Amino acid sequence: DIQMTQSPSSLSASVGDRVTIACRASQTIHSYLNWYQQKPLKAPKLLIYGASSLQIGVPSRFSGSGSGTDFTLTINSLQPEDFATYYCQQTYTSPFTFGGGTKVEFK
């Protein structure tokens, strides 16, 4: 199985901050990398697919980059509704696997 490692596992930030979350795959996954946002007691919500494509309806302050094994999710100007847990997911090969999550907390 491809292992997905996210860092950090948690971070504290303030409204207006720029936040960066990293995700590393244990082998190349090309651009088959997605990012999801999950709030408590809610289903994950797709933010970014194909490493850098913004899902329809997602604010443009979210962006993704990377290819191969190293990827980044950036949130520019963090908003109150962005405090949540973020997961990366690889869909290059089965079984599809998720990272351990990064919890973005209020500083």
Partner 1 sequence: QVQLQESGPGLVKPSQTLSLTCTVTSGSISSANYYWNWIRQPAGKGPEWIGRIYTSGSTNYNPSLKSRVTMSLDTSKNQFSLKLSSVTAADTAVYYCARGWTGLRSDCFDYWGQGTLVTVSS
Q: Which of 13, 24, 54, 55 binds partner 1 (CB under 8 A)?
A: 55
95 binds partner 1, rule: CB under 8 A: yes
From the list 58, 54, 51, 50, the residue with the least C-alpha distance to 84 is: 58
Give the range of 10-18, 20-28, 32-40, 58-66 binding partner 1 by CB under 8 A: 32-40
Residue numbers 11-30 binding partner 1 by CB under 8 A: 30
40 binds partner 1, rule: CB under 8 A: no
As measured in angstroms, the least distance from the Cβ of 24 to partner 1 is 15
Q: E strands along the chain, which residues?
A: 4-7, 10-13, 19-25, 33-38, 45-49, 53-54, 62-67, 70-75, 85-90, 97-98, 102-106
Q: Which of 5, 11, 17, 45 binds partner 1 (CB under 8 A)?
A: 45
| Residue 62: CB atoms within 10 Å | 18
From the list 9, 17, 7, the residue with the least C-alpha distance to 106 is: 17
**Interacting residues with partner 1 (CB under 8 A):** 1, 30-32, 34, 36, 42-46, 49-51, 53, 55, 87, 89, 91-92, 94-101
